[in-house]
Structure 1
Amino acid sequence: MSTLISYAQNFEDIILWRALSRVEGGRYLDIGAQSPDVDSVSRLFYEHGWRGTHVEPTPQYADLLRQRRPEELVLQMAVGETTGILRFFEIVGTGLSTGDESIAEEHRTSGFKVNELRVPLVTLDTVLEQVGPGPVHWLKIDVEGAEKQVVDGWVHSETRPWVLVIESTRPLTAEQTHHQWEPAVLAKGYTFAYFDGLNRFYVSNAHPELLSALAIPPNVFDEFSLSSSSMFCAQVNVAYQQLEQHGQREVAEVRAQEGILREGLESQVLAAHAEREQLEARFKLAEEEAKRIEAEHAGVIKGMVQAHRQAISDFQHVVSVEALSLRAELSTKTEEAEAGRQAAHRWWLAHEALLRDLQQIQSSRSWQITRPLRALRRRLPSAALARTKRALRPLAVRVLRTVLATPGLKRVLKPLISRVPFLYKRLHALAAHEALFDKAQSNRAALQGREHDRTTLHMDKRAREVFADLKRARKEGGVA
């Protein structure tokens, strides 16, 4: 801050600032600090970036200092010649609290409220040790008559603040009391610099350059302003209070008029509010209806989409199943066609073979020889043909029996007859039916034809029964 505002009771802060303003970020020690704002010597320095330590035994002001100066050290204790517990007298609502019982009684007699407390008591040596290393640029002692005890407790510490400010009058009087403690201060290496009517200023012999700055009282050249809490602004504060009271009356009148207007406006506002609520209710209903319709529409669209997807899925499934069925049917038909083609090919081959056989038969000599017989057979009635067969059968049997019994004749006739397969088969079947092969066993070796292949013999039921009896009899007789 560039503007100087004095918050101290007797302009102590302006005098100190004149001497120490060239110090950047200085430190201070305020014993008996009281309020952080009203009659405060340290506030001007705090606003200009300085930081320090406050000693204040009164709980009210100690708490207020911690709130307003959170980054500074606040020691809630009293300072005296020795350490221990001090009977401390709080003069409520003032900066007159003291450890001197006689002074406290004077204040009580004057009408002040006095509370007795028990507070820790330490020496100035202990406080200076708490401050820590580094210079202390000013030390203020304002303990309402106990200044001598504070100075007497400064024995061992080598710390020497640059400037001392010590209250040197009896509380609420102009009676000076510095003769009680000044010799001890001078003995510690300090020189008296200035008396402002309330406090005495001393400069350390290590900083004699500060003496000239402390030689004169605050003046117009210090270019400072007063805080609103200063006692020198009492008349201004009274006028301000009167003006404020007048303003409050006017404000009350305005507020009364405002109340009347407000009542009318409130009725209008209530009506407008009721109309707005109706409109909001209708809008809400319309909005809910729109949401419901939108939800129904969305549901319908969703159902249609799902139905469409299901229809597509079902159609794809049907197409897939039908395609599989058609593929299977096509495969079956293809296989059947292939099988039919192969069967047709086989029948065609059989047909070709039959045609060849037929051609061979028709071109054979036996076919030519038997042509008259076939012609005769076609011309004879079936009954006459049957009677002829029955008449010729005994003759044929006798001829076969003779041939089979005559090996030489069999060898001559068999090749000739085998050239006519039809005739050969009929004669062979007739011989088998009449069991002519069994009767001619002695000549069996001479017959070298298919008649000995029993698996290909053409026998009727009676012949098969006879043949089975013969086989059984041979087994029972032990004939291999």
Structure 2
Amino acid sequence: MTDRPAPRFFSYAQNLEDYHLSLLLGDVERGFYIDVGGGHAVADNVSFWFYERGWRGIVVEPQADIARAYRLVRPRDATVEALCGAEVGEAVLFQAERFHGLSTTVRQHAEAAGAAGVATVERRLPVTTLAALCAAHAPERIDFLKIDVEGAEASVLAGNDWTRFRPRVVVVEAVAPWTMADRSADFAPILTAAGYRDVLFDGLNRFYLAGEELQRAARLPAEPTPWDAVLHLGEYGPAHRDASHPDHALAIGFDPDLLGRLAVMEADELSPRLPPDHAPDSEATRAALARIATMFDGGYVVDEA
């Protein structure tokens, strides 16, 4: 009998971050993450692959519509609708319209977005710190911390108590918005002083291991994994049109005008529209609905003809 090939990894992340994290932490069951700058609950998301496998964590997402989707799609997570920085207080978020991944607290980057035709709206929001988040929500062991906050990563890292709260792995977006210049020097000294070592640069992020976890570095490839080594959610077309999409059968049962709202619809609105074998509050159903919605709710920005 011929052995079947192992199924390919199904990545939700922008740059295979979830795949590389799975190599480092594949032996961990029902672990814990902190995702600062969560973005869309599914599309280009670093932590959702782990959530599907029973993990839970803290998600910091200041954009209200996106935070609402987290609460429905990922109820095991503690969703914190705030900014994260060096000190508790308040700050202005320049929230990008449509291109939510470009929202930033750095005025320079907001101005660059405006010059490129991306409008932003200023919102004053509360700021918390990593130390405060961990004290309120984290268990004793934190498996990974991911930070993607469009230029304010150093400020987020400065707000942790690295003696008390030590994620095994830290993943930090390391290039500047728009220019893509390496700006690791802005934040690397904080992690180096805390006893972390840089073990991988994937072209977008730097992966750091705590000194006490350095044996895990041998699990990583010498070079970043090629893009085509795994499957990607973003490679599928709109779910109601692409018969190969994993949620095509469910998507075709909805009015196309509703597809962009599926991730944030309440159970009473969903129930009459779902097949009998799909409970509106089951995590599997919510995940499928969120995957369907990605092409229409800003998860992936596409121009529909």
Q: Same fold (TM over 0.5)?
A: yes
The 3-state SS of whatever aligns with 1:81 is coil
Residues 197/8 of structure 1: CA separation in 2 closer, same or farther (3 Å cut): same
Residues 242/142 of structure 1: CA separation in 2 closer, same or farther (3 Å cut): closer
Stretches of 4+ moved more than 4 A in 1?
240-244
Q: What's the C-alpha RMSD, in Å, of the aligned pairs?
A: 2.4
The 3-state SS of whatever aligns with 2:170 is strand
Offset of 1:69 from its aligned partner?
0.7
Paired position in structure 2 for 1:51: 56
Question: How do residues 50-449 of structure 1 correspond to structure 2 at under 5 angstroms?
Answer: 50-93=55-98, 94-155=100-161, 158-214=164-220, 215-219=222-226, 224-227=230-233, 229=234, 233=235, 237=237
Please give the alpha-carbon distance, in whole angstroms, between the structure 2 residues aligned to 1:242 and 1:120: 41
1:31, 1:54 within 8 Å by CA — same for their partners in 2? yes
Offset of 1:156 from its aligned partner?
6.2
Paired position in structure 2 for 1:29: 34
Offset of 1:133 from its aligned partner?
2.9
The 3-state SS of whatever aligns with 1:118 is strand
Which whole-Å deviations, capped at 9, do the CAs of 1:113-154 have from their partners, x for residues lacking one? 211111101122112212333211110010000011111212
Paired position in structure 2 for 1:253: none
Q: Which runs of 5+ in 1 are unaligned?
A: 245-480
Please give the alpha-carbon distance, in whole angstroms, between the structure 2 residues aligned to 1:200 and 1:91: 25
Indicate the larger mover: 154-163 or 20-29: 154-163
Q: Which runs of 5+ in 2 are unaligned?
A: 1-6, 245-305
Q: Which has the larger radius of gyration?
A: 1
Paired position in structure 2 for 1:5: 10
Residues 243/36 of structure 1: CA separation in 2 closer, same or farther (3 Å cut): closer
Please give the alpha-carbon distance, in whole angstroms, between the structure 2 residues aligned to 1:74 and 1:131: 10
Residues 157/86 of structure 1: CA separation in 2 closer, same or farther (3 Å cut): farther
Please give the alpha-carbon distance, in whole angstroms, between the structure 2 residues aligned to 1:123 and 1:224: 34
Residues 133/51 of structure 1: CA separation in 2 closer, same or farther (3 Å cut): closer
The 3-state SS of whatever aligns with 1:45 is helix
Please give the alpha-carbon distance, in whole angstroms, between the structure 2 residues aligned to 1:204 and 1:75: 25
Residues 184/223 of structure 1: CA separation in 2 closer, same or farther (3 Å cut): same
- Normalised by the length of structure 1, the TM-score is 0.46
Offset of 1:241 from its aligned partner?
6.9
The 3-state SS of whatever aligns with 2:65 is helix
Please give the alpha-carbon distance, in whole angstroms, between the structure 1 residues aligned to 2:71 and 2:163: 26
2:20 maps to which of 10, 15, 20: 15
Please give the alpha-carbon distance, in whole angstroms, between the structure 1 residues aligned to 2:237 and 2:61: 28
1:125, 1:157 within 8 Å by CA — same for their partners in 2? no
Please give the alpha-carbon distance, in whole angstroms, between the structure 1 residues aligned to 2:243 and 2:219: 40
Percentage identity across aligned positions?
Answer: 35
2:39, 2:45 within 8 Å by CA — same for their partners in 1? yes
Offset of 1:157 from its aligned partner?
5.3
Residues 114/51 of structure 1: CA separation in 2 closer, same or farther (3 Å cut): same
Please give the alpha-carbon distance, in whole angstroms, between the structure 1 residues aligned to 2:89 and 2:162: 18
Please give the alpha-carbon distance, in whole angstroms, between the structure 2 residues aligned to 1:187 and 1:180: 13
Offset of 1:83 from its aligned partner?
1.4
Please give the alpha-carbon distance, in whole angstroms, between the structure 1 residues aligned to 2:152 and 2:11: 26
2:36, 2:148 within 8 Å by CA — same for their partners in 1? yes
Residues 241/113 of structure 1: CA separation in 2 closer, same or farther (3 Å cut): farther
2:35, 2:58 within 8 Å by CA — same for their partners in 1? yes
- Normalised by the length of structure 2, the TM-score is 0.72
Greater strand content? 2
1:10, 1:198 within 8 Å by CA — same for their partners in 2? yes
Offset of 1:81 from its aligned partner?
1.2
Offset of 1:36 from its aligned partner?
0.9
The 3-state SS of whatever aligns with 1:207 is helix
Offset of 1:237 from its aligned partner?
3.8
Please give the alpha-carbon distance, in whole angstroms, between the structure 2 residues aligned to 1:115 and 1:157: 37
Please give the alpha-carbon distance, in whole angstroms, between the structure 2 residues aligned to 1:243 and 1:17: 28
Please give the alpha-carbon distance, in whole angstroms, between the structure 2 residues aligned to 1:129 and 1:212: 31
Which whole-Å deviations, capped at 9, do the CAs of 1:27-61 have from their partners, x for residues lacking one? 11000001111100111111111111100111111
Which whole-Å deviations, capped at 9, do the CAs of 1:239-262 have from their partners, x for residues lacking one? x97999xxxxxxxxxxxxxxxxxx
Please give the alpha-carbon distance, in whole angstroms, between the structure 2 residues aligned to 1:157 and 1:62: 30
1:148, 1:180 within 8 Å by CA — same for their partners in 2? yes
Amino acid at match of 2:203: G
Please give the alpha-carbon distance, in whole angstroms, between the structure 2 residues aligned to 1:129 and 1:120: 17
The 3-state SS of whatever aligns with 1:64 is helix
Residues 54/157 of structure 1: CA separation in 2 closer, same or farther (3 Å cut): farther
Q: Which has the bigger relative contact order, CA under 8 A and spacing at least 6?
A: 2
Which whole-Å deviations, capped at 9, do the CAs of 1:331-375 have from their partners, x for residues lacking one? xxxxxxxxxxxxxxxxxxxxxxxxxxxxxxxxxxxxxxxxxxxxx
